[in-house]
Structure 1
């Protein structure tokens, strides 16, 4: 039978209230000698505090909620790894919610997390709508955005500047002699990763006196491998003169490489490809994918650190723009 707080109090010859104060780091009501005695009793009895019971006492559940539009993506796994690591350091567990980019599911999960009385929220990748923000406000807990931001609502965020990052990726292709450059993008209606990356692509071309051809841009509903396969085939049909492609995600880029192999197009001899993210699959592609790296794991860590700082101080921290850089591999050929 597992020992209880009553057993600890009896073993240390103190009151249950004293044990509770020590467990919850209350700074008054006991001496250092008493604290040492109670901690020794906890160790010798192998007592494990009940998180629910502690939550009833200090109004904390030692859990945070994390909302992703898709938990199966490789970008998500890297962000989650970073968030979980910091949460563990702070003695917290996480509840992960897969919203599937659905407004209703996001609302339902926010209500569920409110019922679970989580201490804070990390809101990832998805657009923060007014109804989401109102629910977070009603929960009266801190929240941090990661890989997304909201121009309307004053929540701190951690992300790469998508427009600048896309500009850097396309500029790399131009610096390698390419001037006929296509793009496989997400939806232009997506204000987080769709439209900004398209704008960065266009800006790089325009600043190098290259005409932006509408037929050179193929947009998709998402950033998946299948989106990349389909978009690449469509791009080749409507933009036959391109020598390079900027893919708005690594998964799209790998889909394009698979499609190219199937139809006999050599990467990079016939067409060069640069991706976006630098997830693990980019190293495993054939050829290995040159890509624009965003530090996903570190972004997850920073978002969690901002959240725990807010839990500690009661104030929101400042938003963080993370650095990006090109990782050179073998999918881009230099033209004379």
Structure 2
């Protein structure tokens, strides 16, 4: 049986009112008599009328839909941000289209164009690297875009994140204070500004202020997967490291378990500090010391910023970057 589409015309006819009245009822406009509203709602209920969001979007030039591009939907860091985005979107009655880009640059462009073709009102981008091609596409699209948990070193695109440099300084300082001189810096790709420009800078700053020479061989660039961390111990061991700062929680769990599988005592012989304080930090043993980020809030504030941009409520000369507070929590993976 073919699904029959009930239109606003059918509702108006059945309720014996104008289509404009039905539209007012559907959009929650107060200028409708209570008795009329009740009658129209009863007809809507009986006919199971659902307003066509696409048609409504064409009329109002707004689809009340937001596109969210996420590098890895299975990574706890990004899924925590997505929860914050989703809750605020629901509050402002926006629908979300989630696109998983696998951190692949070509796929990010493809996803962006797919979302723009769907006429989304705004985009939240969680990729780790703003390539020149992406910047060009962003500029061309004229659609409001906010980066969540990502950094734009050029500060051309609005973004919400923590002060990664200061956060890493605090974490690495703690390791230095425990007498560690050979501290590994382990992170995802260094061409991602968060890793290569901000976190690495924080790491180098602490070494410098403590008179420890920076050693290129103690920088380990990998991807952010658990497995990559797990297989790293032989290399860490041969570099004689006694501690490590790790740029991702899943990666840190791998580093921790790899060391423990090799019979290394944590934290007595090897200390580990991680970056995102996701729930993974409390699932492993020993529990991981970590920089704390307000993950949910980063998502929520990004979405709120986007709603302001979409409704042209942004204050003149507003800052492009919103920095939220971070902290540092000590657990059993450090002394």
Counterpart position of 2:12? 9
Alpha-carbon separation, structure 1, partners of 2:300 and 2:229: 29
Counterpart position of 1:246? 245
Q: Which runs of structure 2 are paired with 1:92-241 in the superposition (5 Å)?
A: 92-152=94-154, 154-220=156-222, 222-238=223-239, 240=240
Give the length in aligned residue pairs. 326
Kindly indicate whether the alpha-carbon contact (under 8 Å) linking 2:128 and 2:193 is maintained by their aligned counterparts in 1.
Answer: no
Counterpart position of 1:58? 60
Q: Which runs of structure 2 are paired with 1:17-96 in the superposition (5 Å)?
A: 17-24=20-27, 32-34=31-33, 37-38=36-37, 41-42=40-41, 45-46=44-45, 47-96=49-98
When normalised by structure 1's length, the TM-score is: 0.88
Structure 1 residue ranges, 4+ long, deviating more than 6 angstroms after superposition? none
Alpha-carbon separation, structure 2, partners of 1:43 and 1:197: 59
Kindly indicate whether the alpha-carbon contact (under 8 Å) linking 1:8 and 1:42 is maintained by their aligned counterparts in 2.
Answer: no
Alpha-carbon separation, structure 2, partners of 1:39 and 1:321: 47
Kindly indicate whether the alpha-carbon contact (under 8 Å) linking 1:244 and 1:273 is maintained by their aligned counterparts in 2.
Answer: yes
Kindly indicate whether the alpha-carbon contact (under 8 Å) linking 1:146 and 1:159 is maintained by their aligned counterparts in 2.
Answer: yes
Structure 1 residue 17: Cα displacement: 2.2
Kindly indicate whether the alpha-carbon contact (under 8 Å) linking 1:183 and 1:218 is maintained by their aligned counterparts in 2.
Answer: yes
Q: Deviations over 1:27-75 (max 9, x none)?
A: xxxx734477336622663343221221122122221111122222111
Q: Deviations over 1:275-303 (max 9, x none)?
A: 11111111001111111111111101110
Q: What SS does the corresponding residue of 1:118 show, helix, strand or coil?
A: coil
Q: Unpaired segments of 5 or more residues in structure 1?
A: none
RMSD across aligned positions (CA): 2.4
Counterpart position of 2:257? 258
Distance change (3 Å), C-alpha of 1:164 and 1:90:
same
Alpha-carbon separation, structure 2, partners of 1:59 and 1:194: 41
Asked whether 1:327 is paired with 2:329, we answer yes
Q: Unpaired segments of 5 or more residues in structure 2?
A: none
Q: What SS does the corresponding residue of 2:195 show, helix, strand or coil?
A: coil
Q: Deviations over 1:79-135 (max 9, x none)?
A: 111111111111121111122222221121111112111111001132222322332
Structure 1 residue 13: Cα displacement: 4.0
Counterpart position of 2:281? 282
Alpha-carbon separation, structure 2, partners of 1:161 and 1:132: 24
Alpha-carbon separation, structure 1, partners of 2:181 and 2:38: 68
When normalised by structure 2's length, the TM-score is: 0.88
**Greater alpha carbon shift after TM alignment, 288-297 vs 173-182:** 173-182
Kindly indicate whether the alpha-carbon contact (under 8 Å) linking 1:122 and 1:146 is maintained by their aligned counterparts in 2.
Answer: yes
Distance change (3 Å), C-alpha of 1:154 and 1:18:
farther
Distance change (3 Å), C-alpha of 1:211 and 1:297:
same
**Greater alpha carbon shift after TM alignment, 77-86 vs 66-75:** 66-75
